[in-house]
Structure 1
Amino acid sequence: MSDYNVGDLVAEFLHQVGIDVVFGVVSVHNIPMIDGLGRRNTVRVAPARGEMGAGHMADGYARARRGLGCFVTSTGPGAANAPGAIVEARFGSAPVLHLTGQTATADLDEAHGAVHDVPHQLPMLKSVSKSAYRISNPDQAFGILVKAAAEALTPPMGPVSIEIPIDVQRANIKRPDQLDNIVLPIQKPDAGDAASLDTIAEMAASAKQPVLWCGTGAKFAREPVQRLAEMGFAIITSVNGKAVIPEDHPMSLGAFHAPPAVEELYKSVDLMVIAGGRMRGHETRDLTLKPPERRVQIDIDPEANGRTYTCDHFHVGEAGAALEALADRLEGRMNVAGDWKQTIAATRETVHAAFCKTLGPYVGFPAIIRDVMPADALWVRDITISNSTWGNRYFPLNEPEQNIYPVGAAIGPGFQMAIGAALAEGNRKVVAMTGDGGFYLNMTELWTAVQEKADVVVMVMNDAGYGVIKDIQTSMYGGRHFAADPIGPDLEGLAKLAGMPFWRVGKLDELGPHLKAAIDVNGPALVEVDMTKFGPYPPYFAPPPYASKSK
């Protein structure tokens, strides 16, 4: 009788597909998988303090390494703690494999009241995952693992869940020979219809002031985007598409895609190519932004056609491959206006100057932080007022994987994503900026950071409340700040309790030295910025167009 079981198969499979860290919470219905990982000792198990935290760590890990991440939960309540993290991975197109247990097959879907048996676990996971599967018998295990990993990594990438009943995990099987040479069936990126690309090339060749908007689907398409920028395309990105090319490139406007000066620029743009981006309401003032009139959209999803903005030509194809094919077609054919480069430089200067006027006492923060951070450090943020103002936009980055934040705009994930990013291979420092409200949501994961020696600096922008929410309440609800002032612990005492170094910043000339000292620590460190000593941000929240209808 073989002593190799499905839990062992899971452990070996994860190693063979290149995963070196798995996040999770051990529990009764996932022990065979955790045990298989532990006995083999080829994949590190990082025990999180909660399943949602584990999921966000796997997400940050996946984004930092441009590869597959994985987290393990238990059945029922454990699996039910995961959807918040799965939803964020879906928003961010992060390839994450979620492995969870299930009750024994004899109890499945029978409402027997077995431990952790909750109804409709698989439909719950399907509702938030890119796809979700159940391994109903041991013979299915290898095939479903391969299929799930490939789906997670196939554009549009995203989280895939698998539930494995406990008796299936324990079942002895013959080790699959295919484990020795796994090739995940990931389809080669398809540029799409050649005639359609020819049409786009003809439109671009005649453009005098073209713009390329790069979204999530194009964020890793550096080489073709760089080529198109050199040909004369101005580059604008979504926030998640930041740093598709270095943001100091003379043709880059970065993630400044909607300020007044850029909207004014759009009036003179004679072609906008939107690649792998939705131009979603969150980044277009709820679709009130007026983009250039002549638009082309490239997306792998045919249903994206007209979902937010209509276009003159829609092309179905993987964004990176399509842009490469477009660049090939345009070599030597572009004839942009002679002053187009100067126009972009002037627009960038105007945008930056106007933006800095909105930051009040925090105008010096981006440059100081950027100066003390290593050039290749990962910049991870939570949804906090500092990020929603300057962290997402006025903070130059060189590589797309340096840009990690909750695309779904939830508060709380940033710190856990930073832990996962810090444990990805590459030995790069991670600086995580979070607000106090978001930090309190999952601060127990401090002990995960300490236990795993995650090389992360947690910078808590502490304004003693939900700053973003208060701004909305001020703008739309008569300044009534109900439920927006959660109290929290003394952060210095919390750091001492966790056994990690701590610095508090109360004035601007302390920010650089204190943050630099924290960055020099080999392991986790906590920096608190006492925003009450600096004062509030100027109001930045503009009520959406539907606000007057909802009062």
Structure 2
Amino acid sequence: MQISITLKGFAAMQVTQPQHPNPSCAQVLMHLLRQYQVDTVFGIPGVHTIELYRGLPGSGLIHITPRHEQGAAFMADGYARASGKPGVCFLITGPGVTNAATAMAQAFSDSIPMLVISAVNRREDLGTGRGRLHELPHQQDVTRGFCVWQHSLTCAEQLPEVLARAFQVMHAPRPGPVHIEIPIDLFPAPMQKPLADYRAVKPATLPAAPADTIATAARWLAEAKSPVILLGGGAQAAGKEVTALAEQLAAPVFLSLAAKGIVDERHPLCGGANLSFTNVRERVEIADVVLAVATELAETDRNLVRENYHFNGKLIRVDLDPAQLVCNANPDLAICADAKATLGQLVDALPAANSERQRHTAAEVEDLLRGCRSEWWPGSEGRFPWVRALREALPENGILVSDSTQLAYNTNHALGLYQPRSHITCTTGYGTLGFALPAAIGAALASKRPVVGLIGDGGIMFTLGELAAAVEQRLPLPILVWNNSGYGEIRDFMDQAAVAREGVNLRAPDFVALARAFGADGCRIDKPEQLGPAVAEAFARQGPTLIEITAPA
């Protein structure tokens, strides 16, 4: 007797699971993610994650489907930077993990909390080399170099503890991607307790500085004649405190690129993200006390100026990560504590500066900024009208998400931002291309603030397919494409080094036509005065708009 099974019947056999009184591992995972205040996850379902997705309906989680796993992780990155909460990805075994690797490494470089939940082959198949679908021997070895913590589940009951550890690790002292892989046979595994019995664990309280350490730092700062504050991206929550401290000390504040907007760049004591320019470096080096808060003091903080400062005065460093307190420069006083709490303690310990001293420092900062402008203008004159036009087009509470492209290198310095979490960029650190489009989607989903993406004609080709996800979500998202007909920055470097231009002059597609093919709107502009109306119209739409900018020759 011959037995035949239809494909439809076979599929049903594959996904039908016996009913259990208690929830499955996948259901508890979704429930606990909501307990940890996760509301959005990014992922592409695959044959190995079918049972994972069984837990999604009714969980309260919003699922966003990108068109590539690299886009999923970039979206999670942008979501995390805009919201301050971890971004979450669901990945399939093997190629899902390797596709997301570049974006995970970008998040690791910039200390962005990201939870990556991936499938892995059944427990009985691990390490056997049987040629199973999506099999990747030693999958966690792939992500080990750019994760702050990893775990491979070996039984379903480990899940609550593993998630608790993951969220603690992403909370402090130095966040980054966490990778949890779950064998596909564990997704449907029944748990031992009802769903309501599973609860999140509250994050640990971040440490404050000891009173005697604060007293020493306060004394040094009070006695300083020319103090300086250097602020890094780890101080996102401390904008109010650092502004108050700068006013009390009458001290200029200079920002790393990751810190843009933490202090309103219109503030008269804010010198912006100009640490790469000669006169600002000189000002840091003559300071009798430098307070460096949540910054690596790395070349990426100085926009790729390799040589570090010569700290001729006392250096006070504040960071939650003890390793960072001695990275790139040894401090005279190291404070291993939360930036917001420490700055608040210093505000309470210091008297207010007199108004005359504040006016003097404000005049000094304005003079420094004039010097910066004279240094950054040569060779960039054609781009600065576009920077001014973008500043006028971007609402005061707007978020700029930028990629590695020529115009973004100018906005890093010349475009002021006014609120924390306003500057999401990959232009330094790991510096991967293709970041801005998916990261802007993640930021727009995370925040009610207006978001503008800025990317080059070369970079957008890495992740162009994510326009489809923005269309599906009906995001009023302007994406500015700086079209300089190739990899313009590398072309300039080749010219400076007297290297023949190879591989940098690219044929670009019709971006406006492509945008419309995706269901987005599109337009092409070539004058700075056209940018404001184009961005305003894009914000008024229910869907993304690709605005192609013909770069000046």
Q: Give the alignment's TM-score, normalised by structure 2.
A: 0.91
> 2:442 aligned to 420, 434, 458, which one?
420
- What is residue 443 of structure 1 aligned with on the other side? 464
Taking the TM superposition and a 5 Å limit, the aligned residue runs for 1:174-185 are 174-175=192-193, 181-184=199-202
1:109-188 to structure 2, matched below 5 A, reads 109-175=127-193, 181-184=199-202, 186-188=203-205
Partner Cα separation in structure 2 for residue 413 and residue 374 of structure 1: 22
Shift of 1:175: 4.2
SS of 1:464's partner is coil
Partner residue of 2:330 out of 286, 310, 331? 310
Where 2:258 maps in the other structure, the secondary structure is coil
Greater CA deviation, 458-467 or 175-184?
A: 175-184
**Does structure 2 retain, via aligned residues, the 8 Å contact 1:500–1:525?**
yes
Q: Which deviates more, 97-106 or 307-316?
A: 307-316
Letter in 1 for 2:188: R
Counterpart check, 1:215 vs 2:204: no
The whole-number CA distance in structure 2 between the counterparts of 1:517 and 1:96 is 33
Cα distance in 1 for partners of 2:366, 2:40 equals 43
Tell me how far apart the structure 1 counterparts of residues 141 and 86 of structure 2 sit (CA, whole Å).
23
Partner SS state of residue 168, structure 1: coil
How far does residue 489 in structure 1 lie from its aligned partner after superposition?
Answer: 1.6
Q: Is the 8 A contact 2:86 2:115 kept in 1?
A: yes
Q: Which residue of 2 aligns with 1:344?
A: 365
* Residue 39 of structure 2: aligned partner: 20
Task: For 2:54 and 2:273, locate their aligned partners in 1 and report how far apart those are by CA, in whole Å.
Answer: 45
Q: Is the counterpart of residue 319 in structure 1 residue 339 in structure 2?
A: yes
Matched-pair contact (CA < 8 Å) for 2:276–2:305: no
Output the amino acid matched with 1:416.
P
Q: Deviations over 1:253-299 (max 9, x none)?
A: 01111212212323542211111101112344544243541222222
Question: 1:373–1:286: structure 2 CA closer, same or farther, 3 Å change rule?
Answer: closer
Which moved further from structure 2: 239-248 or 190-199?
190-199
Q: 1:515 aligns with which of 519, 525, 535?
A: 535
Q: What is the root-mean-square deviation in Å for CA atoms of aligned residues?
A: 2.1
SS in 2 for 1:203: helix
Q: Tell me the secondary structure at the aligned position of residue 162 of structure 1.
A: strand
Q: Which moved more, 1:520-529 or 1:280-289?
A: 280-289
Contact persistence 2:32–2:198 (CA under 8 A): no
Residue 545 of structure 2 aligns with an amino acid whose one-letter code is A
**C-alpha deviations, 1:95-153, integer Å up to 9, x for none?**
11100001111111222222111111122222211111111101101111121122112
Q: CA 1:167–1:420 in 2, change beyond 3 Å: closer, same or farther?
A: same
* Correspondences of 1:82-481 after superposition (within 5 Å): 82-175=100-193, 181-184=199-202, 186-231=203-248, 232-284=250-302, 285-294=304-313, 295-332=315-352, 339-388=360-409, 390-406=410-426, 407-424=429-446, 426-476=447-497, 478-481=498-501
Task: Label 1:53 to 1:197 Cα distance change in 2 as closer, same or farther (>3 A).
Answer: same
Letter in 1 for 2:402: R
User: Take 2:325 and 2:444, find their aligned partners in 1: how far apart are those partners?
Assistant: 37
Q: Distance in 1 between matches of 2:506 and 2:25?
A: 45
Unaligned runs of 5+ residues in structure 1 are 536-551
Deviation >6 Å, runs of 4+? 333-336
d(CA) in 1 for partners of 2:260 and 2:528? Answer: 27
Do the aligned partners of residues 523 and 429 (structure 1) sit closer, same or farther apart at CA in structure 2, a change above 3 Å counting?
Answer: farther
1:486/1:206 Cα in 2 relative to 1: closer, same or farther (>3 Å)?
same
Q: Please say if residues 389 and 528 of structure 2, whose CA atoms lie closer than 8 Å, have aligned partners that are also in contact.
A: no
Shift of 1:72: 0.6
Corresponding residue SS for 2:47: coil
Q: 1:336 to 1:268 in 2, by over 3 A?
A: farther
Alpha carbons 1:152, 1:159 under 8 Å: kept: yes
Alignment of 1:40-119 (within 5 A): 40=58, 42-119=60-137
Compute the displacement of 1:372 (Å): 2.0
Contact 1:190 1:322 in 2 (8 A): no
2:3 corresponds in structure 1 to none
* Cα 1:335–1:248 shift into 2, 3 Å: closer
| 8 Å CA contact 2:325, 2:336 repeated in 1 | no
Count residues with an aligned counterpart. 528
Counterpart position of 2:25 = 6
Superimposed CA distance per residue, residues 298-321 of structure 1 (whole angstroms, 9 cap, x where no aligned partner): 222222244212332222222222
Alignment equivalent of 1:30, drawn from 29, 41, 49: 49
Residues 435 and 461 in structure 1, CA contact (< 8 A), matched pair in contact too: yes
Distance (Å, rounded) in 2 between the aligned partners of 1:70 and 1:221: 25
Question: 5+ unaligned residues in a row in structure 2: which ranges?
Answer: 1-19
**SS at 2:80 equivalent:** helix
Deviation (angstroms), 1:439: 0.2
TM-score, with normalisation over the residues of structure 1? Answer: 0.91
Q: Distance in 1 between matches of 2:173 and 2:322?
A: 13
Q: Which deviates more, 57-66 or 514-523?
A: 514-523
Q: Distance in 1 between matches of 2:321 and 2:225?
A: 29
In the alignment, the residues of structure 1 paired with residue 333 and residue 74 of structure 2 have an alpha-carbon distance, to the nearest angstrom, of 37
Q: Name the amino acid aligned to 2:28.
A: L
For 1:370-390, what per-residue CA distance to the aligned partner results, in whole angstroms no more than 9, with x for missing partners?
2122222211111111112x2
Instruction: Name the counterpart of 2:511.
Output: 491
Question: Do the aligned partners of 2:116 and 2:179 also contact (CA within 8 Å) in 1?
Answer: yes
TM-fit CA distance, 1:31: 1.9
SS of 2:529 mapped into structure 1: helix
2:149–2:178 Cα contact (<8 Å) kept: yes
Q: CA deviation at 1:337?
A: 5.0
1:522 shift after superposition: 2.4
Q: Distance in 2 between matches of 1:503 and 1:4?
A: 50
- Contact residue 476 and residue 540 of structure 2 kept, 8 A: no
The equivalent of 2:14 in structure 1 is none
Mean Cα displacement is larger for which, 69-78 or 40-49? 40-49
Task: Note closer, same or farther for the CA distance 1:347–1:134 as it changes in structure 2 (3 Å cut).
Answer: same
User: 1:380 is matched by which residue type in structure 2?
Assistant: V
- Counterpart code for 1:310: N
Distance 2:309 2:137 in 1: 47
Instruction: Flag the 1:280–1:464 CA change in 2: closer, same or farther, 3 A.
Output: same
Q: Distance in 2 between matches of 1:156 and 1:342?
A: 36
Shift of 1:60: 0.5
CA distance in 1, matches of 2:320, 2:30: 32
